């Protein structure tokens, strides 16, 4: 479609969430442009380093989107890079949006890690934010800066906070991705797994549900400032490991490394899915379904 009112820009468009979101939005009939460091030959695919304010502004000026979904970001080994890939890239996109004569609205990707350790283990959109990890602090800094720019410029802002994403394509730097790799690169009835804490309880949501939720938020005329993308159900990481091993007809011999177990992490964090349910979205994963998805070949 050539109608500017339906033009969406997705940054990080070749990533875990970005690639399926672009497909999902195009299937809905929207004109969708993707931006990444490794674009395709499509005229709707653009190369941009969003760590550069100039490149971010040029990208937005050329595309003239009405909605931007910035998905560039992720984890990093050192703190400066962690803040650069999460906070700096979002700030540059927000400022680029504000620069336009018709500012685009932004749907920023936050994280459940921004909440830290909720008092009752349930994270509501109104819950205090007190992250316990470097990643959570970087995402919270990004959200705070985006709010400040939005309030000062009039750029519309919604912050979507996905909880723990489940996908067979998860990087091995994630707990689930690490466990999956170790189990699948071994054979036999006994398989060793080296990991961190397995007693933590998380709200695990399939990647497909996260993508559907983001697509629904894009389509809204009026968007909430913050919305959790969660199931409202808590599962113990160790239970998922046990179910994955059982499905492989194996026994997992676990070695918990002290240095991994010492990494700061909330003991329990489960999202409140009330606001999501008002949009007609619900997700009911189980330990069985999460294990099955992780061991599959596709989402």
Residues of the chain with CATH 3.90.25: 167-202+233-269+285-294
Three-state secondary structure call for residue 67: strand
- What was the pLDDT predicted at 40? 76
Q: Where are the alpha helices (DSSP H) in the chain?
A: 18-27, 53-63, 79-83, 89-99, 134-153, 175-184, 207-219, 237-247, 258-261, 274-278, 287-294
Q: What is the mean pLDDT of the chain?
A: 94
Structural fold of domain 167-202+233-269+285-294: UDP-galactose 4-epimerase; domain 1 (3.90.25)
Q: Taking 50 as the threshold, does the pLDDT of residue 2 lie above it? A: no
Residues of the chain with CATH 3.40.50.720: 4-165+204-229
- Architecture label for domain 4-165+204-229: 3-Layer(aba) Sandwich (3.40)
| pTM strictly above 0.85 | yes
- What was the pLDDT predicted at 31? 96
- What was the pLDDT predicted at 5? 55
pLDDT band with cut points at 50, 70 and 90 for residue 3: very low
- The predicted-structure confidence for 198-250, as pLDDT tens digits, reads as follows 999 999 999 999 999 999 999 999 999 999 999 999 999 999 999 999 999 99
pLDDT band with cut points at 50, 70 and 90 for residue 139: very high
């Amino acid at each position: 479609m050539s109608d500017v009112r339906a033009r969406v820009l997705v940054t990080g468009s070749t990533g875990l969430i970005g690639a399926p979101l672009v497909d999902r939005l195009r299937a809905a009939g929207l004109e969708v442009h993707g931006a990444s460091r490794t674009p395709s030959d499509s005229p709707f695919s653009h190369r941009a380093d969003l760590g550069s304010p100039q490149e971010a502004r040029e990208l937005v000026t050329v595309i003239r989107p009405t909605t931007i979904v910035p998905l560039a970001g992720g984890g990093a080994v050192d703190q400066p890079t962690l803040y650069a890939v999460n906070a700096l890239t979002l700030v540059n996109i927000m400022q680029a949006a504000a620069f336009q004569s018709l500012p685009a609205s932004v749907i920023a990707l936050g994280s459940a890690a921004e909440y830290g350790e909720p008092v009752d283990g349930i994270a509501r959109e109104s819950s205090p934010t007190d992250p316990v990890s470097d990643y959570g602090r970087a995402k919270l800094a990004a959200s705070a800066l985006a709010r400040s720019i939005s309030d000062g410029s009039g750029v519309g802002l919604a912050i979507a906070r996905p909880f723990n994403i489940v996908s067979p394509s998860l990087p091995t730097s994630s707990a689930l991705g690490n466990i999956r790799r170790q189990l699948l690169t071994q054979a036999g009835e006994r398989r060793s797994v080296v990991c961190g804490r397995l007693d933590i309880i998380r709200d695990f949501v399939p990647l497909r549900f996260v993508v559907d939720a983001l697509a629904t938020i894009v389509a809204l005329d009026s968007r909430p400032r913050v919305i959790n993308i969660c199931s409202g159900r808590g599962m113990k990481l160790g239970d998922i490991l046990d179910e994955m091993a059982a499905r492989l007809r194996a026994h997992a011999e676990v070695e918990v490394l002290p240095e991994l177990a010492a990494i700061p992490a909330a003991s329990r964090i489960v999202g409140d899915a009330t606001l999501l349910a008002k949009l007609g979205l619900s997700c009911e994963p189980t330990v069985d379904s999460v294990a099955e998805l992780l061991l599959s070949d596709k989402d």
